[in-house]
Chains A and B, each alone.
Chain A
Amino acid sequence: MSKVYLVYGLIVIGLMGTAQYRGWRLLPVTEGRTVPKSVRDNPGSYRPVYGGFWHFGGGK
């Protein structure tokens, strides 16, 4: 039991070290879309996938 746990713990720490080194995240950002270079000339033509912002009204 405790040997299995020791191996399990070492695997967890190994994954932790790898994740830290590679910069992994549990929640990925939107990625992968290929954007043409023309976006540099006309930034307004780019259509992001995210929606509008929540318009916070402010105040206590």
Chain B
Amino acid sequence: MPDGQGRPRVTVRSVNCPNCGAATAVRTFGHAVNVVCQSCRSILDAKEAGVTILQQYKDAVPSEPLIPLGTRGTVPGRQPPFEVVGFQVRQIMVDQVAYQWREYLLFNPYHGFRYLTEYGGHWNVVSTLRSLPDGDHLPGDSGTRTYHGRDYRHFQTATATTIFVLGEFPWQVRVGDQATVVDYVAPPQMLSAEVTADKEVTWSLGDYAMGTDIWAGLSLPGRPPEAVGVFADQPSPYQGVTGRMWRQAALLMALAAIVWLAHLATARQKPEFSQALVYNPQSVQDASLVTPVFELDGRASTVRVETATNLNNQWMGVGYALINDETGQTFEFTQELSYYYGVEDGESWSEGSTANSVTLPSVPPGRYFLRIEPEGERTGKPVSYSVKVIRDVPTSLWFVGALILVVLPPVVTSIRASAFEHRRWQESDSGAGESSSD
């Protein structure tokens, strides 16, 4: 009966179960085709004036809905309030393993029916489509389908079996009903087609929803079940993040390169001291010596000490101590040099080098001298060598280190995003294909 504005009046009637006599409320008025007795689970024909039993399943394992029938409230993305009027559990078999999900039928007398599906703590708010996706009205079991300009990639094709029902339904429902379900995903949405044995096709569109939002909208007590794993249309937490990070990484690397080039351009590389020396390994005299005092000016910065020799199939080690003539502060370091060459089996070879260098960090300005202690083979030939001290030399080590540190976070994020997508698609019968999270 319509109200004053022509809308149907909201009423609830009840039917008595012919099997157990229990009264079961019917909330969807003339929409209800089947009603399930909430006491004995008998499926009743609600369209007939005299209610008849369509199916009894005494051995069925009861499955309590997480959301009780009769619950009213809003669901994400659907503003008007709906009431939970039906509940069914459906199952698919993959590699002898049963996967079950739960479907809640929602009803609003002015907006019709919606569905809430839940699998492993992942929820979708589902509406039946009023227009078909592009292409054939029948779903395929591969490829993509386009709906309202958006491409949905095939995820899974399976035969779903209804294993438990409760409440009322606007269609003929039986335990044991089977239908082919084909899912296509474009997170956070899922396009699904359900094909019955007589080739009747129903297309629907699901929007992924957080369990906490469902619980808040329906004013349910407690907390929703924890989501397990990655669901087919679950939005990736890395959606758009990796691309943005890589763009920022490019900017940061460019900035680092500018700072590095400025460092190269402004480094003075000023020669402060050089001396030519001779070391005779066969001499019994102490070979250690000190250089004249030289000035290291400017701010605290690097100092490079270069050693160049005329080594000829021999080695030489030089122990250095850079000593501040005023404070006695000392920087100790060594350089090892060796240069060998020859011909073996008609092939010439050489290894080592006649020159080497050491760069000292943050040497304060002041007057310094070097204490030098050469060492070599006792039977070796005399070696001519030179020592050169250069102030404020540039280094690329920090630039390389900065590049690594800048690139590391987007690399890690990309790996994690890829792992997320891999976990999503490994549940698909289309295989663990790659899918961009951007």
Q: What is the interface of chain A, defined by CB distance below 8 A to chain B?
A: 1-2, 5-6, 8-10, 12-13, 15-17, 19-26, 28-37, 39-40, 43-44, 46, 48-50, 52-56, 58-60
Q: Take A34-B328, A58-B340 as given contacts and tell me if A24 and B409 are in contact as well, using a CB distance cutoff of 8 Å.
A: no
Report the separation of the CA atoms of residues A23 and B398 in the bound assembly, to the nearest whole angstrom: 10
Contact at A59–B340, with CB atoms within 8 Å? yes
Q: What is the interface of chain B, defined by CB distance below 8 A to chain A?
A: 241, 244-245, 248-249, 252, 255-256, 259-260, 263, 286, 288-290, 300-302, 313-315, 317, 319, 321, 323, 325, 327-334, 336, 338, 340, 342, 344, 349, 351-352, 358-363, 369, 371-373, 375, 377, 392, 394-395, 397-399, 401-402, 405-406, 409-410, 413
A43 contacts which of B289, B300, B338, B395 (Cβ < 8 Å)? B289
B253: shortest Cβ distance to chain A, in Å? 9
Contact at A44–B286, with CB atoms within 8 Å? yes
Specify the chain B residue showing the minimal Cβ separation from A49: B332
A4: shortest Cβ distance to chain B, in Å? 9
Contact at A5–B331, with CB atoms within 8 Å? no
Q: Take A5-B245, A6-B248, A31-B332 as given contacts and tell me if A40 and B398 are in contact as well, using a CB distance cutoff of 8 Å.
A: no
Contact at A23–B328, with CB atoms within 8 Å? no
Contact at B332–A22, with CB atoms within 8 Å? no
Contact at B302–A17, with CB atoms within 8 Å? no
Report the separation of the CA atoms of residues A33 and B252 in the bound assembly, to the nearest whole angstrom: 40
Contact at B333–A26, with CB atoms within 8 Å? no
Interchain pairs with CB closer than 8 A, number: 162
Q: Using Cβ atoms and an 8 Å threshold, which residues of chain A touch B263?
A: 17, 20-21
24 A-B pairs within 8 Å (CB atoms) are namely: A5-B410, A9-B248, A10-B252, A12-B405, A16-B256, A17-B259, A20-B394, A23-B361, A24-B361, A25-B360, A25-B361, A29-B360, A29-B361, A30-B330, A34-B327, A43-B290, A49-B332, A53-B315, A55-B315, A55-B377, A56-B315, A58-B314, A58-B340, A60-B340
Specify the chain A residue showing the minimal Cβ separation from B325: A37
Report the separation of the CA atoms of residues A16 and B342 in the bound assembly, to the nearest whole angstrom: 44
B330 contacts which of A5, A23, A35 (Cβ < 8 Å)? A35
Report the separation of the CA atoms of residues A15 and B340 in the bound assembly, to the nearest whole angstrom: 42
Q: Take A16-B398, A40-B369, A60-B342 as given contacts and tell me if A48 and B332 are in contact as well, using a CB distance cutoff of 8 Å.
A: yes
B129: shortest Cβ distance to chain A, in Å? 35
Contact at B330–A36, with CB atoms within 8 Å? no
Contact at B401–A16, with CB atoms within 8 Å? yes
Q: Using Cβ atoms and an 8 Å threshold, which residues of chain A touch B289?
A: 43
Q: Take A40-B369, A43-B371, A43-B373 as given contacts and tell me if A23 and B363 are in contact as well, using a CB distance cutoff of 8 Å.
A: yes
Q: Using Cβ atoms and an 8 Å threshold, which residues of chain A touch B313?
A: 58
Q: Using Cβ atoms and an 8 Å threshold, which residues of chain B touch A15?
A: 402
